Each structure stands twice: as C-alpha cells, then as structure tokens.
C-alpha cells in the first residue's frame, strides 16, 4: 500500500522548477556578480590609483571612484572579457527550467531581458561615473562612445553565445563554446590577479591556457565522435580557438595604444592596421598555442569515452516496461479496486 511518503517533498520541488520568472533575476545576477567578479574583487576601482581622477592632495578622490564596470581605456580588455563571460553565465540561468517543448523561446527571452537589464544599468552607471570623475582622456565623448560600444557588443555577443551553448544542438553548442573558452581563460587570470596581486600570481597565470583547453575539451566531449562527420565540427572548434585567441591578442595590442599622447584620433587608422597585422601574425603556425589544442583534444576524447560508456536510462514515455514477474498480480475485476482512489491518513 502506498503511504505517500516523499510525495510531499517532491510536490514542493516540482513547482519551483516549473516557474519561469526566476530565470530573469538569476540571469541579471549572473551577468554582473559572475561576469564582473574580477572587478568586484579588485574593489570596483575604488582602491586603484590608476583611476584617481584628481590629485590626492586636493582630497577630491582620496579613494578613487566607484564604477560597476572598468569603463576606462586602460581596462578595455578586462571590460570585453567581463561582458563576454557575463553573457555566457547569464544564459546558464535557462537551466533553472526543465526542458519542455514550447518553452525554449520564453526562457531565452527572460534570460536575455535579465542580462540586458543588468548590463544597461551597470554600463550607464559606469559611463556616468567616468564622465564625471575620470581622467581628461577617459571623459572625452569620443572615448566614452568607443568604450560603450565595446561593452554593448561584448554583452550581446556573450549572451548569444551563451544561449547557443545552453539551448542549442551539439554542433552549435560546441562552436559557440570556443570563443567563450578563450574569454574564460582571461577571466580566470583576472580573478587570480585580483586575489593575489600581479607579482604573486605570475606563476599561476601560465596555467590560464590549460583552462581554455579544458573548457574547449568539455565542449568537444559533448559533441562526441559519432557520426563520423562530427570530426569536421571538432576541427572547426579547434580553428575557432586559434582565431579567437588571435583576435584577443590583436585587441589587446590595439587597446594598449588607446591612451593620451598616442596620436589619437588622427593615428587611429594606423593603430587599427597594425593590430590587423598582429592578428594575421598570431594565426601563423609558429605562433599557435598547440598545447591548448592538445589539452582540448585529450579532454574531448576522454569525455566522449566516458559519455559513450555511460548507461542510457529510458526517458521517453513510450519506452517499453519490463515484463511482470511471477509474483505480480493483475487485477481484472473492478470490484477489487474500488478503494484505489481513496486517501489514506
């Protein structure tokens, strides 16, 4: 006789995962608390002397100024990393809702609204704080517009990639994970520097490439090796790793010249052309981080083997049930089942 033990707890858990509205606040929190974690650990700029807008002797900015995002050209690479990773983490809020037909679009819209709301507020606050308290160069309207474009573009691209990873098919998931893996390596490095300081973290920063390789390898493991045409997708993921890493190097090179007394704005075209040359040079075989590819392939093969050997559990409602044993009794008379719907106390 079924006494109903455990039914109450299961009944309470089920409605919590059935609601869609928690996806929005979870995505908003993940975008900033997760993506901007390196900047939060660094004190939001309040203890960074590089962001002091005025002379300390004036007493106007003895502790710097608070900005929710690193909205300066000196931290442009960190800003791009934060927005990309934040978008990817915000998309993970869709995992709160159990997959069900007809819900993917609504869940994706809620995650996008949460991430964009959080991004809009933090970007507006950071731009306003920099406009009022930043250096003369960072307060320039042309500079603020450029930094704003980087923040918005990074947020949108990170969110789209994250949604593809969370809701897309195996091939799209693996391809979208490659750029996020490159950004994740920089994000982990920034977290280590914020926690330990630059000098103490130099020995650990070299392991950031391993983080990229492991993240890409997990994406390859989810892709699998069957059918054989999946190997083409494996190659595409590895190529994307190289392209995104080269783009990251070229962007860092360009950002290093976005500073006072660097010939701006007249020399901006020359800096862009030089960064393009850096991008092409970074794609050459001599400058490839082959170790990252080897780590990704090794993790992908190991993960594929584990997933292949894992026993599959029937999940479809039409799965055949095992035949009843000899002790199973079948009730054919409705008279004997007349109390089946009664509630026992």
Q: State the DSSP code for 262.
A: S
Q: State the DSSP code for 323.
A: P
Same domain, 42 and 118: yes
Percent composition of the chain: helix, strand, coil (DSSP 3-state, to 5): 65, 0, 30
10 assigned to some structural domain: no
- For 185-233, what is each residue's pLDDT tens digit? 999 999 999 888 888 888 888 888 899 999 999 999 988 877 878 889 9
pLDDT category, 47, cuts 50, 70, 90?
Answer: low
Is the confidence at residue 261, as pLDDT, over 80? Answer: no
176 assigned to some structural domain: yes
Same domain, 160 and 277: no
- For 285-298, what is each residue's pLDDT tens digit? 988 888 899 999 99
177 assigned to some structural domain: yes
Of residues 11 and 312, more confidence is placed in 312
Same domain, 250 and 281: yes
CA dihedral 53, 146, 122, 251 (to 10 degrees): -100
Same domain, 190 and 231: yes
Same domain, 116 and 176: no
Same domain, 186 and 214: yes
The neighbour count for residue 115, using CB atoms within 10 Å, is 32
End-to-end alpha carbon distance in the chain: 12
Same domain, 146 and 275: no
Predicted pLDDT of residue 135: 80
Please enumerate in sequence order all residues whose Cβ is within 8 A of that of 138, keeping only pairs 6 or more positions apart, or say none: 71, 72, 73, 130, 144, 147
What Rg value do the Cα atoms of the chain yield, rounded? 26
Q: How far apart are CA 29 and CA 313, in angstroms?
A: 34
Q: Of 64-68, 130-134, 251-255, where does mean pLDDT reach its minimum?
A: 64-68
Same domain, 141 and 229: no
298 assigned to some structural domain: yes
- For 141-168, what is each residue's pLDDT tens digit? 889 999 999 999 999 999 999 999 998 8
Q: According to the 3-state scheme, what is the secondary structure of 218-247?
A: HHHHHHCCCCCCHHHHHHHHHHHHHHHHHH
Write down which residue in 125, 145, 168 finishes a domain.
168
323 assigned to some structural domain: no
Same domain, 158 and 254: no
247 assigned to some structural domain: yes
Is the confidence at residue 257, as pLDDT, over 90? Answer: no
Domain tally for the chain?
2
Whether the Cβ atoms of residue 20 and residue 104 lie closer than 8 Å to each other: no
Angle at 115 between CA 111 and CA 120, to 5 degrees: 145
The neighbour count for residue 37, using CB atoms within 10 Å, is 18
Same domain, 162 and 39: yes
pLDDT category, 101, cuts 50, 70, 90?
Answer: low
Write down which residue in 131, 147, 168 finishes a domain.
168
322 assigned to some structural domain: no
Residue position matching structure tokens 């004036």: 58
Q: How far apart are CA 220 and CA 208, in angstroms?
A: 19
Instruction: Reduce the DSSP state of residue 62 to 3 states and report it.
Output: strand
Q: In the predicted model, what is the mean pLDDT of the chain?
A: 80
Q: How far apart are CA 303 and CA 296, in angstroms?
A: 10
Instruction: Reduce the DSSP state of residue 64 to 3 states and report it.
Output: strand
Write down which residue in 168, 188, 203 finishes a domain.
168
Whole-structure pTM value? 0.78
Same domain, 26 and 126: yes
Tokens for 106? 């609504």
Q: Of 153-157, 181-185, 235-239, 268-272, where does mean pLDDT reach its minimum?
A: 268-272
318 assigned to some structural domain: no
Domain, as residue range, for 254: 169-309
Average pLDDT over residues 226-254: 91
Predicted pLDDT of residue 266: 72
Average pLDDT over residues 25-38: 94
Please enumerate in sequence order all residues whose Cβ is within 8 A of that of 324, keeping only pairs 6 or more positions apart, or say none: 330
Same domain, 180 and 164: no
């Amino acid at each position: 006789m079924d006494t109903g033990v455990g039914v109450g707890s299961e009944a309470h858990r089920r409605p919590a995962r059935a609601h869609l509205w928690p996806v929005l606040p979870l995505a908003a929190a993940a975008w900033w608390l997760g993506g901007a974690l390196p900047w939060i650990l660094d004190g939001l700029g309040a203890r960074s002397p590089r962001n002091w807008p005025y002379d300390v002797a004036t007493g106007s900015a003895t502790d710097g100024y608070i900005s929710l995002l690193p909205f300066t050209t000196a931290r442009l690479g960190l800003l791009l990393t934060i927005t990309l990773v934040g978008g990817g983490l915000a998309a993970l809020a869709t995992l709160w809702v159990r997959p069900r037909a007809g819900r993917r679009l609504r869940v994706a819209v809620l995650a996008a609204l949460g991430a964009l709301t959080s991004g809009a507020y933090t970007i507006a606050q950071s731009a306003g704080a920099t406009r009022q308290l930043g250096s003369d160069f960072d307060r320039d309207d042309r500079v603020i517009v450029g930094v704003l474009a980087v923040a918005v573009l990074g947020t949108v691209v990170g969110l789209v990639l994250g949604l593809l990873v969370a809701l897309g098919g195996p091939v799209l998931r693996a391809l979208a994970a490659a750029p996020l893996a490159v950004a994740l390596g920089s994000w982990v490095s920034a977290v280590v520097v914020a926690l330990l300081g630059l000098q103490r973290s130099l020995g650990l920063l070299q392991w950031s490439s391993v983080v990229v390789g492991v993240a890409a390898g997990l994406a390859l493991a989810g892709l699998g090796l069957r059918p054989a045409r999946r190997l083409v997708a494996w190659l595409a993921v590895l190529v994307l790793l190289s392209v995104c890493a080269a783009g990251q190097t070229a962007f860092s090179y360009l950002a290093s010249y976005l500073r006072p007394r660097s010939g701006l704005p007249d020399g901006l075209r020359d800096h862009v052309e030089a960064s393009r040359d850096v991008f092409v040079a970074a794609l050459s075989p001599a400058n490839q981080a082959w170790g990252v590819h080897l780590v990704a392939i090794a993790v992908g093969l190991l993960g594929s083997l584990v997933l292949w050997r894992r026993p599959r559990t029937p999940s479809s409602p039409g799965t055949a049930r095992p035949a009843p044993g000899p002790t199973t009794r079948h009730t054919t008379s409705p008279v004997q089942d007349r109390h089946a719907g009664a509630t026992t106390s």
